[in-house]
Chain A
Amino acid sequence: MATHPGGLITTAPPAVRTTRLVRRFGDRVVLKELDLTVAPGEFTALLGRSGSGKSTLLRAVARLDHTVEGSGELVVPERVSLSFQDSRLLPWLRVLDNVTLGLRGPGARERGLTALEEVGLAGRDRSWPHELSGGEQQRAALARALVREPELLLADEPFGALDALTRIKMHGLLRELYERHRPAVLLVTHDVDEAVELADRVLVLEDGLISVDLAIDLPTPRSRRDARFQEYRDTLLTALGVAQPPLPTTG
């Protein structure tokens, strides 16, 4: 059990529980006694306006915010993986060494190769990161996150820097990998469509609290043209304060 400026940390199920979590920068309180529970294996997306504190929350859950003032109680599993908006591969390590970085125990190399194969990068293990395209780098980062077999995967806009086509492919890949490994996922995104397409539960962060908690009850794979998809999407956009023009009625 470790103490933390943010409060007490214990390691036990559920996947994530924050109790009265507070984080502030000077006078600016970003998280105001936020309560959040994510069940093991649950795919949750976190939406919110820019500056609403999504990254702050994610960094708190990842325990990367030692320097941030705050309080509250935080329960997270032992094995947590974090993926960033940039792929953040170390430029001086080959792709495989990046994936297995910090991996302990025997068979690390084999596990790394398997993870690379899973994300479609078989045979690129000896490449330098700068030899990969942006999408491939992001896939390598995904392999690095999954090779640790996390009970919780935290992802801060992992597809933010990718083009639309690559994003679509990455969505498919992420969902597929999720269904195979079943970690709890907390995915931060700006993109309402992405949230509804991938997650089983969508949260909206507003004024330091969870203002919307919406279960997405749609079978996967999901089609954006599905009428119920549109309904969820509109609900969320309204919650985010984006005025919705009435849908044109098409036959």
Chain B
Amino acid sequence: MTDLLPTARSGPALLIKGAPAEDTAHAGPTVARGTRRRLGPGRAVPFGRLIGPVLLVALWWAASASGHLDPRILSGPGSVLSTAADLVSTGRLQDNVLISLQRAGLGLLFGVTAGVVLAVTAGLSRSGEYLLDGPLQIKRAIPSLAMLPLLILWLGIGEQMKVTVIALGVAVNMYINTYASLTSIDSRYVELAEGLDLGRAQFLRKVVVPGSLPGFFVGLRLGVTSSWLGLIVVEQINATSGIGYMMFQAQQYAQSDVIIVGLVAYGIFGFASDAGVRAIERKVLSWRRTLAG
């Protein structure tokens, strides 16, 4: 407010005739308004993204502590924590988590590689587009999990099948989004590259790759999510290890606390991997000016 006064004094000619003097004080909020985009979502708070999950856990804790939650339906946070500690001290949790992470990681790796290679091939050559885009758009309409019976028939029920199912889902997400982003690179930039006599390699490095990165990251985030989804499904089919297997067993013995530990593990990895991708995305795409700022 105080820093407003000098402006008001130095520009008396701007004051509306007949307006009462104290009206200038009301200009305060008008100045403050400039600090925030009016149609944007508002200012960012550090770790604000965690508020929701923390609130949910608090609610769960309150419900079980007050006895409103039957432990046979859902164990309280306390017993889940002690079960988790047990599972960790026996090494059972780590072993299963490790094998699950390995499956998801391999699936993600193969899926991302395949998706990007397909997208670049289809995006940069006509014959690639004609050969690949049709089948992949059709594949997109069939959920990867629907291919499960066929994949089991072909690959059996071992690790190969599990990684393939995950990779398939990831690859389609990567392909669709990277391809869309790549083909929507402004043709004026292509013209610019021609005008500057860029070689093929430079054109790829300076125009195509950065131009398709936004789509690549959308695909990667969806791909990471779909890799967890695929993991959960394949681990409940004839698996003998993994978080899903651990939960499946717990279901047989009605151990809801073990199931919760499994869910939390899935949740933590899902959340952490998405946050990781977002962080990389923010860093790599720092040239973009978006609504979320």
Contact = CB atoms under 8 A, between A and B. Distances in A.
B196 A86 contact: no
Contacts of A128: 287
Given A84-B188, A86-B188, A91 B287 contact: yes
A12 interface: no
Interface residues of B, number: 20
Nearest to A130: B289
A144 B194 CA distance: 14
Contacts of A62: 195
A184 to B, nearest CB: 16
Interface string A118-154: 0000000000101000000000000010001000000
Secondary structure of the A contact surface, majority rule: loop
A90 B198 contact: no
Contacts of A92: 210-211, 213, 285, 287
A102 B198 contact: yes
Interface of A: 62, 64, 81-82, 84, 86, 88, 90-93, 101-102, 128, 130, 144, 148
Contact of B195 (A64, A90, A91, A130): A64
Nearest to B213: A92
Nearest to B207: A90
B102 interface: no
B189 A88 contact: yes
For the complex of A and B, the 5 pairs showing the least CB-CB separation, nearest first, are: A102-B196, A92-B210, A82-B195, A92-B287, A102-B198
Most buried by B among A81, A84, A90, A92: A92
B195 A101 contact: no
A128 B287 CA distance: 6
A131 to B, nearest CB: 9
A101 B289 contact: no
28 contacts: A62-B195, A64-B191, A81-B195, A82-B195, A84-B188, A84-B192, A86-B188, A88-B188, A88-B189, A90-B189, A90-B206, A90-B210, A91-B287, A91-B288, A92-B210, A92-B211, A92-B213, A93-B206, A93-B210, A93-B287, A101-B198, A101-B206, A102-B202, A128-B287, A130-B287, A130-B289, A144-B196, A148-B196
B191 A101 contact: no
A81 B195 CA distance: 7
Interface in B171-210: 188-189, 191-198, 202, 206-207, 210
